[in-house]
């Protein structure tokens, strides 16, 4: 289903959105659950994109609902698989799932269908371009999460950096974030962009989401200050502990765990 110029949502995926960008350099953003690759290829053929024509598969993050068919699609197409460095490490199985709280909560549902481990062909950096979309860092839901923004018409493919529930736009909750504070800082940055169409990782696209985005984003200064204070507090606590034990000061741990 084409929802904006050259931008299609693959229809009938079980629980998440995967986007096909047509045009001179066709690209796929996210890949659904394991076992959904065939459905994605069938839709691509339907709109005239052959597996050999696909140039890039880019991931917002490595959760199985988004990266589940990445390894399979990489084998079946000519595309290079791209993800941020942190998500690439999860995909390769070098570090645990990025979102431990969600894994704990949804464990059964997720672990029943784990994503196939694989290596990426390249790392996404902020500002990189994928088929006319710019990579925007949006850590929080997972630590290496990225979104994709097309300046030309204000389309934002947000992955799980944002959630749409009915007419509400929501930031990832505590239970669905590696770091809730980082997730909210990311939303506040997204709220600064002129977005005309928001495509979330789950649920329906949302047109003209500006007011809702600003409401959920809040002023970034306050959130960044909270994040800075937490880091400082953790650092001090670490120093106090290491002084009392006489050991070396620990390095900064994972946010929010
Ligand atoms: Zn996710």
The 10s digit of each residue's pLDDT in 66-92 is 999 999 999 999 999 999 999 999 999
- Looking at the domain assignment, is residue 243 inside a domain? no
Cβ proximity of 155 and 196 under 8 Å = yes
- Looking at the domain assignment, is residue 225 inside a domain? no
Cβ proximity of 236 and 200 under 8 Å = no
Cβ proximity of 71 and 63 under 8 Å = no
40 alpha carbon – ligand 1 mean position (Å): 19
- Looking at the domain assignment, is residue 247 inside a domain? no
236 alpha carbon – ligand 1 mean position (Å): 32
- Looking at the domain assignment, is residue 230 inside a domain? no
160 alpha carbon – ligand 1 mean position (Å): 5
Specify the number of domains making up the chain.
1
163 alpha carbon – ligand 1 mean position (Å): 10
Instruction: Work out the pLDDT band at 221, boundaries 50, 70, 90.
Output: low
The pLDDT score that the predictor gives to residue 222 is 60
Ranking 27-41, 89-103, 157-171 by mean pLDDT, the lowest is: 89-103
161 alpha carbon – ligand 1 mean position (Å): 8
Which CATH number do you get for residue 104? 3.60.15.10
d(CA 101, CA 118): 23
- Looking at the domain assignment, is residue 257 inside a domain? no
- Looking at the domain assignment, is residue 184 inside a domain? yes
242 alpha carbon – ligand 1 mean position (Å): 35
- Looking at the domain assignment, is residue 242 inside a domain? no
DSSP string covering 122-165:
EE--TT-EETTEEEEE--SSSTT-EEEEETTTTEEEEETTSEEE
At residue 153's C-alpha, the angle toward residues 149 and 156, to 5°, is: 30
Cα separation values, 36 from 8, 23, 63, Å? 16, 23, 14
247 alpha carbon – ligand 1 mean position (Å): 37
251 alpha carbon – ligand 1 mean position (Å): 27
66 alpha carbon – ligand 1 mean position (Å): 7
Q: Domain limits at 26?
A: 2-217
245 alpha carbon – ligand 1 mean position (Å): 39
Which residue(s) pair with 19 in the sheet? 9, 29
């Amino acid at each position: 289903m084409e929802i904006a110029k050259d931008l299609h949502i693959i229809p009938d995926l079980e629980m998440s959105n995967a986007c096909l960008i047509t045009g001179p350099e066709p690209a796929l953003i996210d890949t659904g659950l394991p076992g959904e690759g065939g459905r994605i290829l069938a839709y691509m053929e339907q709109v005239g994109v052959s597996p050999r024509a696909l140039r890039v598969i880019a991931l917002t993050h490595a959760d199985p609902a988004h990266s589940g068919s990445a390894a399979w699609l990489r084998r079946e197409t000519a595309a290079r698989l791209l993800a941020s460095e942190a998500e690439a490490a999860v995909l390769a199985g070098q570090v645990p799932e990025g979102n431990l709280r969600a894994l704990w909560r949804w464990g059964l549902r997720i672990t029943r269908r784990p994503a196939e481990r694989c290596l990426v062909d390249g790392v996404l950096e902020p500002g990189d371009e994928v088929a006319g979309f710019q990579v925007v860092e949006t850590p929080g839901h997972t630590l290496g999460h990225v979104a994709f923004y097309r300046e030309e018409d204000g389309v934002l493919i947000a992955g799980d950096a944002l959630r749409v529930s009915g007419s509400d736009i929501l930031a990832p909750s505590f239970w669905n974030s590696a770091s809730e504070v980082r997730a909210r800082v990311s939303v506040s940055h997204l709220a600064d962009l002129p977005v005309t169409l928001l495509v979330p990782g789950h649920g329906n696209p949302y047109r003209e989401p500006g007011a809702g985005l600003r409401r959920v984003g809040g002023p970034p200064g306050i959130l960044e200050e909270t994040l800075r204070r937490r880091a400082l507090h953790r650092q001090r606590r670490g120093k106090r502990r290491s002084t009392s034990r006489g050991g070396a000061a620990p390095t900064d741990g994972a946010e929010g765990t």
